[in-house]
């Protein structure tokens, strides 16, 4: 894989540029240059995705290692980490879309994206478009579509997923917060939890099976679980098995589904401790 610095201009960042960077409110930590000692400078975001690990390593999101010649759409790109990462992995065209005009609130607007774009001398395109308004007539189709951390923010996720699928030629990667509080994760459910986690822009939380069912309904018939931590997961939803092979070769990602802890097991442990080691009957 290309080195992390391959897309970073070799020049050192001057004081004025560093000051400009620190005036922006960032979510992503994006490598944008080097300091006077030659060390990589990252934008001061809250979450680090680097291929070197970080809080949420890119492996959680299912990006193919090599995107040479592929076209990519990044929905809800925010500061643009995944768009720039797709470009770094060789994508021939990357379009980033977001609704985050400079509106404050939870999301930081496009200042971060524009700053990183300039420093990386990036060719990533940006359009201020909502996921609902994606159509093949206006945008064409993209080999891969990224939709990371967006679906719980839309009031009508099925309409959003249908629009996303309409511009997906091969694979849509959706990363989302999950509904983990069900015993059987194979149930295709979506929980409506407006304002969950203290965020008034949060609405819907699927199980993995719920997301897979919605993707299938929208015409993306072949899904693979890429990552599942219980509270979040990533699903690769493709037009067909051939589309998965086209995106990943023989290295199609596949994760084990999260297994919720048996609440009885926890109850039994506590009860055993309280009873001084004596066993209790299991109810289920
Ligand atoms: C939690 S952030 C995720 C940012 C980035 N994709 C990531 O995973 O780090 C949610 C993003 O979705 C965007 N968003 C919210 N509603 C949207 C919509 N209707 N269409 C497109 N993007 C939307 C927000 O502006 C914000 O940039």
Predicted confidence at residue 278, as pLDDT, reads: 52
**In this structure, is residue 274 part of a structural domain?**
no
Would you say residue 79 lies in a domain? yes
Residue 269 lies in a domain: no
SS3 75: strand
pLDDT at 202: 95
* Structural domain containing residue 150: 4-259
Neighbour-count burial of 257, counting CB atoms closer than 10 A to its CB (0-12 exposed, 13-18 middle, 19+ buried):
middle
pLDDT-based confidence at residue 107 (cuts at 50, 70, 90)? low
In the chain, DSSP finds a helix count (H) and a strand count (E) of 8, 11
The pTM of the full predicted model, rounded to 2 decimals, is 0.89
The CB of 225 under 6 Å from ligand 1? The reply is: no
Judge whether 150 lies within some domain.
Answer: yes
Please report the pLDDT score of residue 256 as a whole number: 87
Cα–Cα distance for residue pair 148/166, rounded to 1 Å:
17
| Per-residue pLDDT reduced to its tens digit, 196-254 | 999 999 999 999 999 999 999 999 999 999 999 999 999 999 999 999 999 999 999 88
Q: At CA 190, angle to CA 188 and CA 192, rounded to 5?
A: 165
Give the lowest-confidence range in 50-64, 89-103, 143-157.
Answer: 50-64
- Domain at 245, CATH number: 3.40.50.150
Query: What are the angstrom distances between the C-alpha of 136 and each of 32, 133, 139, 142, 169?
Result: 33, 10, 5, 9, 10
Partners of 74 in the β-ladder:
96, 146
Q: How confident is the model over 277-284, as a mean pLDDT?
A: 39
CA of 96 to the centre of ligand 1 (A): 11
Instruction: Lowest mean pLDDT of 65-74, 94-103, 186-195, name the range.
Output: 94-103
C-alpha 31/C-alpha 119 separation (Å) is 10
Identify whether 281 is part of a domain: no
Q: How many domains does the chain have?
A: 1
Among 40-54, 55-69, 72-86, 117-131, which stretch is predicted with the lowest mean pLDDT? 40-54
Query: What is the pLDDT, as a whole number, of residue 275?
Result: 67
Segment 66-87 shows an average pLDDT of: 96
Give the CA count within 13 Å in the CB-facing half-sphere of 220: 32
Q: Say how many C-beta atoms besides its own lie within 10 A of residue 239's C-beta.
A: 19
Nearest CA to ligand 1 atom 25: 100
Quick check: is 169 in a domain? yes
Q: Mutate which of 62, 130, 153 to test ligand 1's pocket (most atoms within 8 Å of Cβ)?
A: 153
Residue 167 forms part of a structural domain: yes
Residue 154 domain-assigned?
yes
Ligand 1 site-directed mutation target among 27, 45, 98, most atoms within 8 Å of CB: 98
Would you give the distance in Å from CA 107 to the centre of its chain?
Answer: 15
pLDDT of residue 3: 39
pLDDT tier at 87, thresholds 50, 70, 90: very high
Contact predicate 85/144, CB 8 Å: no
User: CB of 147 within 8 A of CB of 78?
Assistant: no
How far is ligand 1, taken at its centre, from the CA of residue 182, in Å?
26
Give me ligand 1 centre to Cα 267, in Å.
39
Among the listed ranges 41-45, 99-103, 136-140, which one has the minimum average pLDDT value? Answer: 99-103
Which pairs with CB-CB distance under 8 Å and at least 24 residues apart come from 87-91? 87/7, 87/120, 87/122, 87/123, 87/124, 88/2, 88/4, 88/6, 88/7, 89/1, 89/2, 89/63, 89/64, 89/65, 90/2, 90/66, 91/67
Ligand 1 pocket, residue 73 CB under 6 Å: no
Rounded Cα gap, residues 162 and 134, in angstroms: 9
Average per-residue pLDDT for the chain: 87
- Quick one: average pLDDT of 89-114? 81
User: pLDDT tens digits for 122-164?
Assistant: 999 999 999 999 999 999 999 999 999 999 999 999 999 999 9
CB 150 less than 6 A from any atom of ligand 1: yes
Nearest to 73 by CA among 103, 49, 98: 98
**Residue-level pLDDT at 5:** 37
Q: Contact 203/153 with Cβ under 8 angstroms?
A: yes
The answer to whether the CB of 78 is under 6 A from ligand 1 is: yes
Return the half-sphere exposure (C-beta side, CA atoms, 13 A cut-off) of residue 235.
Answer: 25
Please report the pLDDT score of residue 283 as a whole number: 31
**Over residues 165-193, mean pLDDT:** 94
């Amino acid at each position: 894989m290309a080195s992390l610095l391959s897309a970073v201009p070799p020049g050192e960042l001057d004081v004025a540029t560093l000051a400009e960077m620190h005036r922006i409110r960032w979510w992503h930590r994006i490598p944008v240059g080097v300091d006077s000692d030659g060390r990589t400078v990252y934008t001061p975001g809250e979450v680090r995705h680097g291929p070197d690990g970080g809080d949420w390593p890119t492996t959680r999101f299912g990006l193919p290692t090599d995107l040479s010649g592929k076209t990519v759409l990044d929905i809800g790109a925010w500061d643009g980490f995944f768009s720039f990462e797709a470009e770094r992995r060789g994508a021939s065209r990357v379009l980033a879309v977001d609704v985050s005009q400079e509106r404050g609130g939870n999301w930081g607007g496009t200042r971060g994206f524009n700053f990183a774009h300039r420093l990386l001398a990036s060719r990533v395109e940006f359009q201020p478009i909502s996921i609902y308004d994606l159509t093949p007539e206006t945008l064409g189709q993209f080999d891969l579509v990224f939709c990371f951390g967006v679906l719980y923010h839309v009031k009508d996720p099925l309409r959003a997923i249908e629009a996303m699928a309409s511009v997906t030629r091969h694979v849509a990667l959706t990363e989302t917060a999950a509904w983990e509080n069900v015993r059987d994760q194979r149930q295709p459910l979506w929980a409506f939890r407006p304002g969950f986690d203290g965020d008034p822009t949060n609405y819907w939380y699927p199980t993995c099976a719920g997301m897979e069912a919605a993707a299938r309904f929208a015409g993306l018939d072949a899904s693979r679980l890429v990552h599942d931590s219980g509270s979040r997961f990533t699903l690769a939803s493709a037009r067909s098995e051939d589309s998965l092979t086209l995106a990943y070769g023989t290295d199609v990602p596949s994760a084990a589904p999260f297994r919720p802890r048996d609440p009885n097991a926890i109850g039994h442990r506590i009860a055993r401790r309280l009873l001084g080691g004596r066993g209790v009957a299991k109810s289920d």
